[in-house]
Structure 1
Amino acid sequence: MNHNKQLDVPVLFLTFNRLETTIQVFEQIKKQKPTQFFLASDGPRVDKIDEANVVHSVRKYLLDSIDWRCEVHTLFRSKNLGCGKAVSSAITWFFDNVEYGIILEDDCLPSDSFFKYAKELLLYYKKEPSVMHIGGYNPLDISLNGTDSYYFTKIHQCWGWASWRRSWKNFSYDITIEEYKNFIHSRKFKQVFPHIEERRYWKRVFREMTDQKINTWDYQWTFAILKNMGFCINPCRNLISNIGFSKDALHTTDIHNKNNNALRYEIFDINHPAEIILNKEFTDRISEEHFNIPINHLFRYYVRNIFKDIILFSMKRFVKFCINKFKDLKDKPLKNL
């Protein structure tokens, strides 16, 4: 890698109150020297003692540590908006200023090749509106058979990603109950989720989202992509480690989770798939192994239903046979014994 060459793709770095992880991710960004560097930070929570000082120290560290020539843009909130609104509004601010770019949170540690990978795909699919998201995280930690460097799926991974303004314009933080109902009852919903267990899972998640029971933004982004029948890119090997698992984290609290600090790999030479088409094997395995949706158990479900239909059909035929026999006996004169 040429350390003197600067990354000419804008980077948005989302931070809050974790200096240790912020430093690790920043050091990876610093190697790339992006020409446009956007920093966003939510405001401190009023009920958290000394959090204002911690948030300030993270911001000061970043501004003091930028030692390369670049445009620096900041969105430092004075009041706390919460994870969902703070992150989504920062991404909107980012795409109000740039056409495309890379988004990293303060706990998403990228491999060296992640930036080259994201840049190449941002340019390669720049004019392909069906491709809406470029992910850097591979939750399966496997490489499926084939020579392609990445796969197309329907569910995004947002631990280190990239996208375009044209895609993010479809995002809405506040999804109404009408939008929710229209989508889950649409033909699109059954097309993207052919398995009944998947539909049940995402119906529940999207309902909790519309009821504002989940303080996040990524499910709204999932909703926008699915509603527009968009494609998401996942790398053939994992390029991002989430180093933010801790008991003090907002969402990633289970330090024993298999996704905690996953191994990172490198993809320097990009082999593009021949066509934009859903990789069913990868998509189904993400549903099963990452979201714990038992779609492959549906075989038993369908077999059980088939046998139920056979039994029901047989019983109906048997009842009909008995009725006809009874009618025949009734109509025939009794023979003398």
Structure 2
Amino acid sequence: MKEAKIDIAVLLIFFARPKQFEQVFAVIKEAKPSRLYLYQDGPRKGRSEDMAGIIKCRAIAFDIDWNCEIHTFFQSENVGCDPSEYIAQKWMFQTEEEGIILEDDDVPSLSFFPFCKELLKKYREDERINMICGMNNTKICEYTPYDYLFTTSGSICGWASWRRVVETWDEKYSILKDPFNLKQFKNYLDSFMEGASYINTLRRHQYAGKAYYETILGSSMHLNHRLNIVPAKNMITNIGVTANATHSVSDIRMLPKGVQRIFNMPAYELEFPIKHPPYVIEDKEFKERIDRVMGKGHPLIRYYRKGASILRRLKYKDYKGLKKSLLRLLRIK
């Protein structure tokens, strides 16, 4: 049995996509973290094929050839992506003060692990920092002389954080019951995004009665006035466009070209030592770049992409996905 190469906890959230998960775990085997937290959702009702994928993924996860402390949380029934993500993350941080989170379609570069380890230590007690992202949706920020930047944006495709952050998460969205502070929150959001739209999303998620970790994590960042760390060069390849993807399409051709670039982006290796920024200052140039990539604050881009998505689904005969797109466009849940 080989020794662990890096003393860090890694949470792997997976389900029933062995082809994707195998690529992620291949990097895990090379990195050899000292502690693994394995979370797997259960089979969906009426989907007999799920069990085959679940069994294959579990076999991949247990193919461990190094000294590693293993923790498991396997659901017997399907609870869904939400609240699975939230459940899994809360579970790991009950034991760990800090750690890395990877899903079954987040393929990291090998240097992502020491990158996270060093920054987790450096900013451990710094309440200004929310999380360390692995993905840079703009691919490369050639303008910065440092290896990472600070932003209110950021991707949850491979990230790391601390228990101190998770303890501030509010799955009840208590801000929605506080008229004065909700107004202050909206005014704050309006300075750089559509505050009313974001708050409406919080209301929908609260009404659904289950934990949507994306808005729980995001609202916590804003309400505590924190910043995310993003690498100057992308360190995660998202391979999530598959036939059984949860939050994407089954064929990348159905996505508008501006969105296609986010998937299968190359992951770069970092050269050490890390070049740290001397100050914690929000990078406004990055914010402008990523907002354009994601269509935030650019209504023409957003509506063009919605139209392009519908036309592409028609072209490739994805009528089920087309129905979902139209309902989403009309904000019908």
Question: Could you tell me the TM-score, scaled by structure 1's length?
Answer: 0.80
Q: Percent identity?
A: 32
Match of 2:115 in 1: 117
Instruction: Read off the aligned partner of 1:264 and give its amino acid letter.
Output: A
Unmatched tracts of structure 1, length 5 or more: 298-337
Distance 2:196 2:244 in 1: 31
The aligned length equals 292
* 1:61–1:224 Cα change, 3 Å: same
Q: Secondary structure at the match of 2:198?
A: helix
Distance 1:261 1:180 in 2: 42
Distance 2:158 2:178 in 1: 27
Match of 1:310 in 2: none
RMSD: 2.4
Distance 1:30 1:219 in 2: 31
1:41-190 equivalences under 5 Å are: 41-63=40-62, 65-176=63-174, 178-179=176-177, 184-186=182-184, 188-190=185-187
Tell me if the contact between 1:180 and 1:206 (Cα under 8 Å) persists in the aligned partners. no
Distance 2:106 2:198 in 1: 25
Match of 1:265 in 2: 268
Distance 1:210 1:150 in 2: 34
Distance 1:77 1:293 in 2: 39
How far has the Cα of 1:134 moved from its partner? Answer: 0.4
Distance 2:191 2:213 in 1: 25
Q: Secondary structure at the match of 1:35?
A: strand
Q: Secondary structure at the match of 1:185?
A: helix
1:1-337 equivalences under 5 Å are: 6-63=5-62, 65-176=63-174, 178-179=176-177, 184-186=182-184, 188-195=185-192, 197-212=193-208, 216-253=212-249, 255-256=252-253, 257-269=260-272, 270-294=274-298
Distance 1:267 1:192 in 2: 33
Tell me if the contact between 1:287 and 1:295 (Cα under 8 Å) persists in the aligned partners. no
* 1:182–1:138 Cα change, 3 Å: farther
Q: Which has the larger radius of gyration?
A: 1
Instruction: Read off the aligned partner of 1:233 and give its amino acid letter.
Output: I
* 1:46–1:118 Cα change, 3 Å: same
Tell me if the contact between 1:156 and 1:222 (Cα under 8 Å) persists in the aligned partners. no
How far has the Cα of 1:274 moved from its partner? Answer: 1.3
Instruction: Read off the aligned partner of 2:267 and give its amino acid letter.
Output: R
Distance 1:97 1:151 in 2: 29
Distance 2:243 2:190 in 1: 34
Unmatched tracts of structure 2, length 5 or more: 254-259, 302-333
Distance 2:244 2:180 in 1: 37
Tell me if the contact between 1:108 and 1:242 (Cα under 8 Å) persists in the aligned partners. yes
Instruction: Read off the aligned partner of 2:93 and give its amino acid letter.
Output: F
How far has the Cα of 1:265 moved from its partner? Answer: 1.0
